[in-house]
Amino acid sequence: MYIEGKARIKDSGKAFLNPKAKVSRDLSVAYVSHLAKRDSALLDSTAATGIRGIRYALESKARDLTLLEINRAAHKALKANLLLNKVKAKAINESIQEFANSGNGRFDFIDLDPFGGITPYIYDLMKVSGDGTRLMVTATDTAVLCGADSKACMKLYDSKPIHNELCHEGGMRVMIGYIARVAAQFDMGIDVELSVSYMHYMRAFMRLKAGASAAYASLEKMGYLRYCDACRNREAELGFLPRNSDCSNCGGRMAPYGRMWLGDLKDQKLVDSLCRKTKDDERKGEAFKLLELIKSELDERFYYHIPTMTKRYKLGSVSPYLVAKRLEEAGYSTSLTHMKGSAIKTGAGLGEVVKMLKSN
């Protein structure tokens, strides 16, 4: 028996169960239990053992639950787990694609946690979404999103990924950008409420907003990351097409990456609330630590990875805390980031950051 939160799960070996995804589930349970009401309709579209759906039922107010699972043996296992936990839910042995195309209303919360990438599912999930739907999405095809397989990213996400120290944030923005583009086809925009790059996955929590103007507003937050290999300068550029541009720091050539989401990666007020929610629950310790870091993180675009910078400028190693302190003293807001160790987010430009690295 595997116990997590209030759920007891019988691991029959017939349905996928990864204890390492507990942090993802703890964050999701905190999010749902903060936002759901009794009449909220929730779809766990890739249910496996049913652990997420069962935890949503036992740890939030939501009572109208639907669990989808394509695999027959896994579906049988999840039905047994629903019984074991005395949770009433619709357990449906169908694919997302079949389900979404059978006239099944709309959901207030949708959880997508497939094997690998998200691209085969988002279009169909939009058909069971509407104004205010909360979409919680995990991608584990991080090699694709982070550019180890650049061609696959162009094929699947229609975006050129960056494959260097910025790949964690780049990959997250490529994934969210894909969702924004598909949502726009359904006349919906997105607000990103929380995004987490952790271990082998990226997970984003978004609120959909209906209307053509909301769709256009989201598309206006799309654009490109331009990166200079020579001096490690980076610029974010909003727009439908990238402009050619020389590096403002060294005059070299900057390469464009994207299109990708350049809007916010979190809703600060919501993250504050989730921190309060997980704080006193020691079973959610790791999720709380992660949320605390995200809470303190500046929502600036593209962190600076300090070891990459010191290597490029042939400097001795410098603690990211020290660089952050120096930048703060010089008047620039600065924070660490949960996305990568030894990296900082700051309002300062490359020139200022390099100056602080050198002021040893």
Ligand X SMILES: C[S@@+](CC[C@H](N)C(=O)[O-])C[C@H]1O[C@@H](n2cnc3c(N)ncnc32)[C@H](O)[C@@H]1O
Judged by the rule CB under 6 A, the positions of this chain that interact with ligand X are 15-17, 21, 25, 45-46, 48-49, 51-52, 68-71, 74, 95-97, 113-115
Supply the minimum distance, in Å, between the C-beta of residue 186 and ligand X.
Answer: 19
> Does 129 engage in binding with Zn ion (CB under 5 A)?
no
Q: How far apart are CA 202 and CA 199, in angstroms?
A: 8
Joined together, the tokens standing for residue 211 give 């209307």
What three-state secondary structure class fits 226?
strand
**Which of 141/169 has CB closer to ligand X?**
141
Of 291, 221, 299, nearest to 263 by C-alpha is 221
Of 102, 137, 97, nearest to 120 by C-alpha is 97
Query: What DSSP string describes 45-60?
Result: SS-TTSHHHHHHHHHS
Supply the minimum distance, in Å, between the C-beta of residue 93 and Zn ion.
Answer: 55
Supply the minimum distance, in Å, between the C-beta of residue 137 and ligand X.
Answer: 11
Of 306, 302, 276, nearest to 288 by C-alpha is 276
**Which of Zn ion, ligand X, none binds 46 (CB below 5-8 Å, type-dependent)?**
ligand X
How many CB atoms within 10 Å of residue 280?
Answer: 8
**Which of ligand X, Zn ion, none binds 247 (CB below 5-8 Å, type-dependent)?**
Zn ion
> Does 354 engage in binding with Zn ion (CB under 5 A)?
no
Joined together, the tokens standing for residue 186 give 């359904």
Q: How far apart are CA 284 and CA 27, in angstroms?
A: 8
Supply the minimum distance, in Å, between the C-beta of residue 226 and Zn ion.
Answer: 10
Joined together, the tokens standing for residue 298 give 């500046």
What three-state secondary structure class fits 191?
strand
**Which of 97/308 has CB closer to ligand X?**
97
**Which of 71/296 has CB closer to ligand X?**
71
The residue count for binding Zn ion (CB under 5 A) is 8
> Does 23 engage in binding with Zn ion (CB under 5 A)?
no
Supply the minimum distance, in Å, between the C-beta of residue 252 and Zn ion.
Answer: 4
**Which of 214/290 has CB closer to ligand X?**
290
- Positions that interact with Zn ion (CB under 5 A): 228, 230-231, 233, 247, 249-250, 252
